[in-house]
Structures are given as C-alpha cells and as structure tokens.
C-alpha cells in the first residue's frame, strides 16, 4: 500500500510539474512587428482601400499606418493643432488616451478619452474623418463624461455595431467597473440616458478597464484588462474575457462566474520578457481574428503587440 501511495504521489507531483511547465509555455510572444512599434493603448482598423490605420494614446492622438499589419510607419497626429475642448479634463495636457477606431458609412470614427491619471473627472469625445489622415479629424464633441462624484470613469471607449445596426459604446476604468451606453448611429452621441453595467472587480483596487466587445458565432465577447498598467516592467496588466448572448450582458467567464462579480478568464499575461500585456483591441481580418495590445519590455518601454486569436471547441478564445 505504501509503495502505491508513494508511486501515486510521485505521479501527482510529475503531473503538477508538467502542468506548471505547460502553463509557463501557454502564452506566445508577440508576433513580428517592425518599424514604428512604440505604442500605448493601441486600436486598429482595416482601411477600405487596403492596409491598416492604427491610433494610440499620445499628444493629439498618435497615428500609424501599415500595408501588411507587420511594418508600421508614423503618420503624425490626429489633432496636430491641439484639442482645446479637452483641456478642462486634461488640465491642459496635450495627451489624449485610449482611442477607438472604426469605419462606418464611408468615414472613420474615433472615440477617445480626456482625463488625468487616477481621476474620474473624465470625458469621452468623438471625432470623424473621411481619410483618417493627420489633421483631417473633425471634433464632433462630447459623448460621455464623469465627475469626481461619479461612481464610474468615462475613459477607454469601444464601439460595437450589432448585426441589427445598433450602436453601443462600452467604457470604464476602476471605480464601479465597465459600463455601456446606447448611441444614435447617425450622430455617434447617446441615444438615451440608460447606463448598463457590464463588469466590476472587488480586489486589487477594483482594477478592471479597457473593454472591447467582439461578436462571433452568436456570442458577444467582452475583453478587458485586469490589474495595473503604466508601471513599465512592473506592470501587471493581463487580458481577460467573458461572453454573453446579449450585447448588454450578463457576461460570464469560462467557469460561469459573472463579470459583474469579478469574473474573467485569462487569455494573456506577463511571461518571459513580456510585461503587462493589456488594453486589448480585436480585429476580424481576412486571414484570422487579430488581438492587438501593448506590453512593456524589460527596459520599461511600451511596445505594440499583435497576435492571432483562435477559438476552441467550446468557442472560447485563445492567443497564438
């Protein structure tokens, strides 16, 4: 009996060791990107004539272009002449955060955030452009704002357009988590006063932010970032996901835990020399579904990360 127990224990330890080794190898390194690869809070859209337009957090919103989703070239700023309308929220800082790009009705739409670090005195604005080029973006005004007394934070916007043509904007960071409002498709402004609650955490300073919603095969997938960004190689950002049959939720993770109760299934986290991968964006491209994000190098530099998304037999995403 003792030999059986010892053998069983040895087998269990070997299994655990094997699982640990497998877990360490689960997450791939970012795919090859070249050229201008510095990025923070990236968003990407496929251009109707071919190629890609990428936007990131930066002074006046940083723009980059790519012909092949591999080599990226600087393309100036969306607002090279400043954004005086946002100064109330940024305290005059030129940096605008977390843009969200899409293309509808013959033009580019960009929602973006104005705030200061750690504050809920924040706003989400909308801009549109026929070309996406630097200096071509028109200010379409305020969409959502929060104040220091709000229980949510109006940053990190993401637009999803449903198959039936409804426009929904998710957003949020810390506080009471991820929210959603309905938009008028003709204006990109709010359609009503209702705020839907999608996700919330109750640990690690309630750190959940950077939502993006992606529809596939009858499910809406809510991707978010857990934990802490913007600390260089000490960043603990990681990408989580839940899903729902309805765009407004409820979203649950793979274990069935509601995202409003802190749920979320991890699909990418720090590994090897990749630190704090987060602020996801998802693009349905012709060759595959694509996950775009930023991460930090060991020197603390923020870099563009691109991988592909696969889907397992239970219709849950994984990164490869």
Q: Is the dihedral of CA 141, 96, 74, 277 positive or negative?
A: negative
The two three-digit tokens of residue 188, written as one number: 């990109």
b/e 117-138 (16+ beta carbons within 10 angstroms → b):
eeebbbbbbbbbbeebebeebe
Helix count and strand count (H, E) for the chain:
2, 22
Per DSSP, the residues of 124-153 read EEEEEESS--TT--EEEEEEEEE-TT-SS-
* Residue whose C-alpha is closest to residue 110's, from 167, 45, 37: 45
Catalytic residue among 41, 100, 200, 227: 41
Distance, CA of 129 to CA of 188 (rounded, Å): 13
Distance, CA of 34 to CA of 246 (rounded, Å): 38
Catalytic residue among 100, 209, 227, 253: 209
Distance, CA of 136 to CA of 157 (rounded, Å): 21
Distance, CA of 280 to CA of 319 (rounded, Å): 12
Distance of CA 191 to the CA centre of its chain: 23
Spatial neighbors of 275 by CB under 8 A, at least 6 apart, are 232, 233, 234, 235, 295, 296, 297, 298
- Residue for token pair 């969306």: 78
Distance of CA 104 to the CA centre of its chain: 20
Mark whether 41 is an active-site residue: yes
CB-based contact 305:292 (threshold 8 Å)? yes
CB-based contact 199:208 (threshold 8 Å)? yes
Mark whether 253 is an active-site residue: no
Residues with catalytic annotation?
41, 209
């Amino acid at each position: 009996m003792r030999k059986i127990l010892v053998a069983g224990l040895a087998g269990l330890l070997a299994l655990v060791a094997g699982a640990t080794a497998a877990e360490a190898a689960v997450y791939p390194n970012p795919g090859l990107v070249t050229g201008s690869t510095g990025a923070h809070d990236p968003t990407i859209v496929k251009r109707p004539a071919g190629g890609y337009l990428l936007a990131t957090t930066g002074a006046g919103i940083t723009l980059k272009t790519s012909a092949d989703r591999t080599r990226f070239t600087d393309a100036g700023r969306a607002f090279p002449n400043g954004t005086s309308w946002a100064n109330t929220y940024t305290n005059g800082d030129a940096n605008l955060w977390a843009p969200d790009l899409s293309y509808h009705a013959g033009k580019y739409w960009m929602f973006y955030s104005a705030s200061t670090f750690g504050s809920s005195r924040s706003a989400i604005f909308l801009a549109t452009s026929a070309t996406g080029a630097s200096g071509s973006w028109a200010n379409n005004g305020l969409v959502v704002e929060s104040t220091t007394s709000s229980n949510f934070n109006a940053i990190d916007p993401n637009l999803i357009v449903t198959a039936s043509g409804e426009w929904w904007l998710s957003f949020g960071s810390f506080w009471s988590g991820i929210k959603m409002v309905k938009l008028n498709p003709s204006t990109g402004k709010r359609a009503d006063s209702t705020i839907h609650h999608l996700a919330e955490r109750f640990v690690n300073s309630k750190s959940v932010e950077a939502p993006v919603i992606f529809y596939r095969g009858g499910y809406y997938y809510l991707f978010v970032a857990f934990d802490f960004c913007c600390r260089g190689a000490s960043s603990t950002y990681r990408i989580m996901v839940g899903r729902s049959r309805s765009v407004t939720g409820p979203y649950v993770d793979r274990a069935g835990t509601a995202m409003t109760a802190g749920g979320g299934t991890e699909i990418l986290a720090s590994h090897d020399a990749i630190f704090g991968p987060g602020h996801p964006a998802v693009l349905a491209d012709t060759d595959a579904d694509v996950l775009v994000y930023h991460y930090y190098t060991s020197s603390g530099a923020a870099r563009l990360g691109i991988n592909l998304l696969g889907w397992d037999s239970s219709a849950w995403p994984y990164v490869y």
